[in-house]
Amino acid sequence: MESTLFEYHKQKTIQALRYHFISRKEIKVMMILVNVFALLTAAMFFFKKISPLAFLTSSIMWFLMMLLFWFILPRLVYRKSAMFKDSFKVRLDDDTLTLFNEKASRSWDWSSFSYWMETPHFFHLYFNQRSFLIFPKDAFVEDVETFARDSFKKHIGNKA
């Protein structure tokens, strides 16, 4: 396949990182537990079973968790990664995926990826639970985006 030039746009990339964090199983479980806890404390406060301080504490915990996973972590990862501030080309072949620019080049066999995920603006290719590459979909024209999706299905297989 012919290579496609792309750049990472800050707001869309941060949104993609949010999807990454929110899709993690351990974070989903923690968010559900904190939300249930917050609802229980709200109900207990309404029925005057707990003090306002306990309700305030659970509300602050819920607020901090949402702040952390929705704003702080994605921006922190974006800021620390030099990759998101550069332009790249990607080439999808039968055996490899190659990412390159004028500074460097790196190829991965398709077997290096364990699974992939598609979000509204990005393809996420995972090596493992915490290590991944993301490619913006708007960098591909429609037929190339379809080709990329088909390549990921064919070579990586299980979509998250």
CB 51 within 8 A of CB 112: no
Closest to 135 (Cα-Cα) out of 147, 114, 121 = 121
pLDDT surpasses 60 at 2: no
Taking only the tens place, the pLDDT of each residue in 92-144 is: 888 999 999 998 999 999 999 999 999 989 999 999 988 999 988 877 666 66
Q: Which tokens belong to 52?
A: 């306002």
pTM of the model: 0.82
CATH architecture of 4-8+87-155: Roll (2.30)
Select the more confidently predicted residue: 160 or 71: 71
Buried b (16+ CB within 10 A) or exposed e, 74-103: beeebeeeeebeeebbbebeeeebbbeeee
Closest to 144 (Cα-Cα) out of 123, 126, 125 = 123
Distance CA 153, CA 86 (A): 27
Name the one residue in this structure whose structure tokens are 């207990």.
44
Distance CA 93, CA 88 (A): 16
What value does the mean pLDDT take over residues 16-36?
A: 90
Query: So where are the chain's domains?
Result: 4-8+87-155, 10-80
